[in-house]
Amino acid sequence: MPAEIVYEDEKFSVIKDIKPVAPIHFLIMPKKHLVSVNQLTASDKELIGELFLAAKKVAQDAGVSASGYRLIFNIGEKAGQSIDHLHLHLLGGKTLPWP
């Protein structure tokens, strides 16, 4: 599926969400295939820490780190996970209501 890449390094790809719910809506995905948080093991601790550091960098680059942003994992179909690959949503650019 075509995607607009906003950041990439050796461990992560960051793309714009194809159905954004905020002006800034990115998916931060590890290149290592993991279906969801449920598949994580102790050996993934470093990768997950680096995932959050990548999110911080992308938020800074997008200009939302000072105004605020939200990070979300959807885990499983009933929670809204529609891609069978672990990804972290980064949303910002407006006041975000709590569901």
The domain spans of the chain are 5-92
**Residue 7: which of 72, 57, 63 has the closest Cα?**
57
Alpha carbon distance 24, 67 (integer Å):
12
Check if 33 is active-site: no
C-alpha to C-alpha distances, 64 to 29, 39, 75, 76, nearest whole angstrom: 19, 30, 25, 28
Predicted local distance difference test score (pLDDT) of residue 65: 97
- Out of 33, 85, 87, 89, which one is annotated catalytic? 87
CATH class label, 5-92: alpha beta
> For residues 81 and 35, what is the distance between their CA atoms, to the nearest angstrom?
10
What pLDDT is stored for residue 69 in this prediction? 98
**Whole-model pTM over 0.85:** yes
pLDDT for residue 5 = 96
User: In which residue ranges of the chain is pLDDT below 50?
Assistant: none
